Amino acid sequence: MSDAPTIASARRRLARQFQDAGIESAALDARLLVGEVSGLDLTGLLIQAERILTAEENERLQSFAARRLRGEPVARILGMREFWGLPFELSADTLVPRPDTETIVEAALAILAERSSLAPRILDIGTGSGAILLALLHECPDAVGVATDISLGALRTARGNAQRLGLADRACFVACDYASALCGPFDLIVSNPPYIPGNEIAALDREVRDHDPRRALDGGDDGLDAYRKIIPESVRLLQPGGVLVVEIGQGQEGDVSALMQASGLTVSDPFRPDLSGIFRAVTGRLAVL
């Protein structure tokens, strides 16, 4: 790609390179990267298809292409990812928000729609980029929220996202291990905790294994360590009738439900599947006194 390609030819060449490397989203990745270096959205890429990339744009594109071919996700290269229709900046301390996690937002919104609270208090444990909490605050203008993370870098990223989305006045960010520094009460607690068994991380796709923070992936020997902490803490922090919604890994619904029930939560709502049909959300409700 050293011969000053047009936007259209750069997209074609890059897509072909990615396809030859076995990248499933080759065409999409090529479009996103060419769009980034040229500053054009999809419409602009089509209208200006014959514009020649500048030397600087072409150099950036080659650098991006090399990173993608080494397995770095496009979201990491761009430094942002869309979630729930909102743009979220990323950092090395945060997971890349994934469509599967939108299942948690859907389940939480259904719960909030049932409640009469005019200003629900929401807690997001292990917030990462802030995606879950900020999506909920965006959808619920009366809600307020608290987000926790043990990583200061993740909290800086989440706070920055709140500011860019105009939600900073309804969200606060607390550095602690899960929710150990909080006293509640909350109407709703949500969490996408680490749930991959430690011995399975080496077998993950390299985009996840090599680029997501291990601390946000590793759920201990059986993948359930985080739930053993989050669920009892949630019982302490929820107000009567409050609800906990957690994301789970494939096949973990039975174990997580048992942990909830053992802590006094009622798992009364059906498990929610993601778009692939895998159960992703388990909901536990604290009894009304």
CA distance 239 to 160: 29
- pLDDT of residue 131 exceeding 90: yes
**Amino acid 117: pLDDT:** 65
Q: What is the CA radius of gyration of the chain?
A: 21
**Do residues 171 and 144 lie in contact, with contact meaning Cβ atoms separated by under 8 Å?**
yes
**Do residues 4 and 13 lie in contact, with contact meaning Cβ atoms separated by under 8 Å?**
no
Mean pLDDT of 119-135: 97
CA distance 34 to 41: 9
List the helix and strand counts (H, then E) for the chain.
Answer: 11, 10
- pLDDT of residue 35 exceeding 90: yes
Mean pLDDT of 35-40: 96
DSSP 288: P
At 1, the pLDDT band (50, 70, 90 cuts) reads very low
- pLDDT of residue 147 exceeding 90: yes
